[in-house]
Amino acid sequence: MKKIDIMKRIVDNPDAYPDKILIAETKDMTRVLTPNKLKIISVLGKNKPENIEQLAKLLNRSKDAVTKDLNFLEDFAVVGFKGKKPYLDKDAIIIELR
């Protein structure tokens, strides 16, 4: 199934996917979707690192900085942890514009 088809189903019936999407206001997303946090999201989706150290190496950033951003993203339920392994906790982020 194409990503656009999945997104259409989610947008048409978001209550059917409560654990798969994050719906947030624009003001919140300006803090969540910074360039560094977007890169974390991208790398988690593509590379699936085993731990924060591996993720930090892939990002060429310090472990402390990556940990801080991961904790912030976890507070918004964008990422989660299975033991020490970070993972994407949502399939989509929908931003309310009004």
Given pLDDT bands bounded at 50, 70 and 90, which one contains residue 7? low
Structural domains of the chain in order of their starting residue, each with its CATH number: 3-96 (1.10.10.10)
Q: What is the pLDDT of residues 68-90, one digit of tens each?
A: 999 999 988 889 999 999 998 87
Given pLDDT bands bounded at 50, 70 and 90, which one contains residue 61? very high
Structure tokens at 53: 């150290």
First-to-last C-alpha distance (Å) of the chain: 30
The C-alpha atoms of residue 90 and residue 61 are separated, in whole angstroms, by 23
Is residue 61 classed as helix, strand or coil in its secondary structure?
A: coil
* For the chain, percent of residues with pLDDT exceeding 70: 68
Q: The pTM is what?
A: 0.76
With a cut of 70, say whether residue 1 has pLDDT above it: no
